[in-house]
Structure 1
Amino acid sequence: MPRKRPGALRARQRTTPVLFRSTVTWGTEVFPVPWPTRLDRLSRRTVSAVHRAECGRPDGGGLWPGATDAALRSYRHFLALPGRWLYPRHSVCGCPTCDVPDDVAVARDVLELVRLRLPPGARRELTALLAPLDEELERRTVPDPFAHRRPWRGDGWWHRRMYHESAHL
């Protein structure tokens, strides 16, 4: 008796995939949370820990689902720019979702916030991923000698870098 082809068996088994694992409440609205995305150069266990950190608090706490991926992309994009010296730019909007693609310091703030919320093993892996990026940022940006006069900027060393001249306007 002839067998059915594997493709025919798979075609019969097609179901709609479950795209959302849980929900997040924001005020009175409930939003579905997508499955964790694959983060480049991180293990599945760390990606799951990052997803739990991003979706763990009901108010968000400065994070949203996919914040780590957006921040890593922004950080790598900024470091891939040509030229010997790089000057970060301030973003116009004040919300973190708009600031992450524009301001590398805000992207690094998001990565630091995620790093601090991770369990020790995942924290070690994310720190190892960020170390060469931090070295490159420190090497290609210029320290700001007057950064101590701006206490509102932030505590991370990445806020004490020289920004683009149009940042004052």
Structure 2
Amino acid sequence: MRTYQAFALPPGRRPRYPQEAECSCRGCSFDDVRHARDVLDEVLRQLPSRARAELVRRMASLDAGYLRRTLPDPFAGQRQWRPDLWWRRRLAGRWEGS
């Protein structure tokens, strides 16, 4: 949640670009904010309805910030392994901060 929040709600107005993790180990995989959002989506599916509703409310502003600060990728269907997930259909860069 912290990784997603830090990416989705930073100060400023410039576009942000999700980055692939430089290392494929379990801990470093969270360097890719899209993976963090994947995990949050899985958590949502596993939670009981009351807890799920609370988390959905908390994530609504984060999702809006993510959409506002990222740009659509017109070729996401060809590039992404999960183009059905809206957060994976956004333009990405190579390294964080580029």
TM-score higher than 0.5 here? yes
Cα gap change, 1:139/1:116 in structure 2, threshold over 3 Å: closer, same or farther?
same
Query: What letter is aligned with 1:143?
Result: P
Residue 17 of structure 2 corresponds to residue 87 of structure 1: yes
Q: Residue in 1 aligned with 2:67?
A: 138
Aligned counterpart in structure 1 of residue 40 of structure 2, from 100, 111, 119: 111
Query: What letter is aligned with 1:105?
Result: R
CA contact 2:17–2:91 (8 Å) conserved in 1: yes
Query: What letter is aligned with 1:85?
Result: P
Cα gap change, 1:74/1:117 in structure 2, threshold over 3 Å: closer, same or farther?
same
- Structure 2-normalised TM-score? 0.85
Give the Å deviation of 1:151.
Answer: 4.7
Structure with bigger strand share is 1
Cα gap change, 1:143/1:99 in structure 2, threshold over 3 Å: closer, same or farther?
same
Q: Residue in 1 aligned with 2:92?
A: 163
Q: Residue in 2 aligned with 1:16?
A: none
Q: Which runs of 5+ in 2 are unaligned?
A: none
CA contact 1:96–1:106 (8 Å) conserved in 2: no
Q: Percent identity of the aligned residues? A: 46
Cα gap change, 1:96/1:156 in structure 2, threshold over 3 Å: closer, same or farther?
farther
How is 1:32-51 mapped onto 2 (pairs within 5 angstroms)? none
CA contact 1:99–1:106 (8 Å) conserved in 2: yes
The Cα RMSD (Å) is: 1.7
How is 1:45-64 mapped onto 2 (pairs within 5 angstroms)? none
Structure with bigger helix share is 2
Structure of greater Rg: 1
Give the paired residue count. Answer: 94
- Structure 1-normalised TM-score? 0.51
Distance in 2 between residues matched to 1:97 and 1:155, nearest whole Å: 25
